[in-house]
Chains A and B, each alone.
Chain A
């Protein structure tokens, strides 16, 4: 069955066929033909953003909350380049995303035409793959291929750039497309049985194992399999910033987050382990600190769907290429077989770990100036909203506190910009998440710096009835940068004061600003106002809510391992390194 339609219609038809129900975008000259049939689509909801970066992060938030593909659309030139930050972000955090951009007419490509930018060239290093389409006939196959690449293997962003004349040309459309456009794409999902066997043997020989769980477990939807494996071997477990929620925080096996701002038990557990069971994690520098001194005594099992991650930073004694869901299930089965009902005894190791947990729990202290402690605010948001809610954070101190002081029990409930560290992620990502999961309570926990980068999407939220809750952790400064200036630059606060707190010029006044956007806007300055504001936000669903929490600016994120330093030098609080027992 074929039908004569335009390339633009084919783009919409292909999206429908591929199961896409939501796209975030903003039209312009070179994508105009596609916006016309989009208007008639009954299957696709288009959400008009106020800035293309918002469309990109919304697509990411949609994808991260639902596990489905996120889609964003922009026009050529500046429309496309405004997507670049979000595309880079999705690339770093392996988010399945399809970015569709209009391009100038094919005969004008290369002439510096109006609103022309070589977006395929610009995004080459930050996409999993990209396509430039200049013939309408190629659209169905390219669209199918783009979605296949974005969502399988290690997920990532794929860009499809379509010349305007290809959108306007008519051709015979048929579905499914027959042409295989990417013969070179064959992700490995099933591991070698022998490697799994070797991994099981190594685990059973180990006396001090630790499960080092990364974002790959969440992307693979492998949390149930992980739970079974963790319960079988009873090993301590740590979830990276990208993996918060992959394993319940309430479980005593969970040591919390590792890395620069990880818990002492997680950081030290990795350092002292004799085996890292690495699942979908990539030995990021924020986790390892100085690589040469990272977990020196440990052997490494490294499970990843991307072969290039294995051995990139740390040698793997047992490398396993495959989908985390498949590998973890196989590994559990293999361990059961090898254990033959015997118990795997690591009680000595637990004695040590439990000692760390007891001596170095996560915590914070009240501020000397009597201002609201940001950690308290975030903790209360988590406690009142519960583990079914979705939390999206910006980047900086509030992000780390949100990772530390909210208990995550479920995957896809913690959304953040981990690899790229993109300020401004929270509001649009929360918007995307709320669109994907309309029945869930969705918080954007944002900083006063981050909020000023993408708050225009509050207009999108209000107009489209996307009632997200935004908690601005307003310390009137670029807080994380300020923390580093406090610690490493002799308290010389170069350009980190944002003047948004109550004893400043308050530009902008976030309450007035949010009110202007049609949100319910609340200001909170005192401890006793915190709960009431959070509850009011949770009860208000006819519009977005913004709470401006004015907090103390001297609060710092602890524990901390300074950049490039050995994780052995983890500081529990300022000038307070843990005291190690004798030979430890």
Chain B
């Protein structure tokens, strides 16, 4: 199985998320995560799709996506030429005896506590997916009550912009 990070510039039109998601489902491509939001350009949204492929070449995925009329551009963001970040909020059980250990983990992972009550804390952490996974592992023994994660968002390194050539 191979994992790829695709960045899509799409027209901000009703149904575009359905079109992309349905295409993945229909063609049997597996989505690991999908994040969508607005961009620096009005009317243009950007999707970051992490796709797991078994057997199919990535080329088939990008070609099929390109056939969607509302898709403006697709690039694959390779590991060494891009940065990817997940955003995670975790509610962890704490009591007087464990709170300091949890806070220590928060410091080590450069996470932040954003809510505290007597028997739990809410922690916010940002990082690549490996870091997020490692953080979860550290927190698990204390008892994770709730976990919510964004899909990865990714951007290329360097000064070039993905929207440059598309939207002259």
Chain A residues with a Cβ under 8 A of chain B: 120-121, 124-125, 128-129, 132, 149, 182-185, 306-308, 311-312
Contact = CB atoms under 8 A, between A and B. Distances in A.
Given A121-B15, A183-B11, A306 B67 contact: yes
B18 A121 contact: yes
Given A132-B14, A183-B11, A184-B11, A124 B22 contact: yes
Contacts of B22: 124-125
Contacts of B71: 184
A427 B142 CA distance: 70
Interface of B: 10-11, 14-15, 18-19, 22-23, 26, 57, 59-60, 63-64, 66-72
A121 B57 CA distance: 28
Contacts of B14: 132
B19 A312 contact: no
A124 B67 contact: no
B131 to A, nearest CB: 35
Contacts of A121: 15, 18
Nearest to B67: A308
Across the A-B interface, give the 9 residue pairs with the lowest CB-CB distance, nearest first: A308-B63, A129-B69, A184-B72, A185-B69, A307-B63, A182-B69, A308-B64, A125-B26, A184-B69
Contacts of A125: 22-23, 26
Contact of B66 (A120, A149, A308): A308
Given A124-B19, A132-B14, A184-B11, A312 B72 contact: no
B162 to A, nearest CB: 14
A124 B60 contact: no
Nearest to B19: A124
A311 B10 CA distance: 25
A21 to B, nearest CB: 26
10 contacts: A124-B18, A124-B22, A125-B23, A132-B14, A182-B70, A183-B11, A184-B10, A184-B70, A185-B69, A308-B63
B15 A124 contact: yes
A163 to B, nearest CB: 13
A185 B57 CA distance: 23
Nearest to B56: A312
A301 B117 CA distance: 67
B53 to A, nearest CB: 14
A124 B18 CA distance: 9
Contacts of A149: 69
Contacts of A311: 57, 59-60
A173 to B, nearest CB: 23
A121 B22 CA distance: 10
Nearest to B70: A184
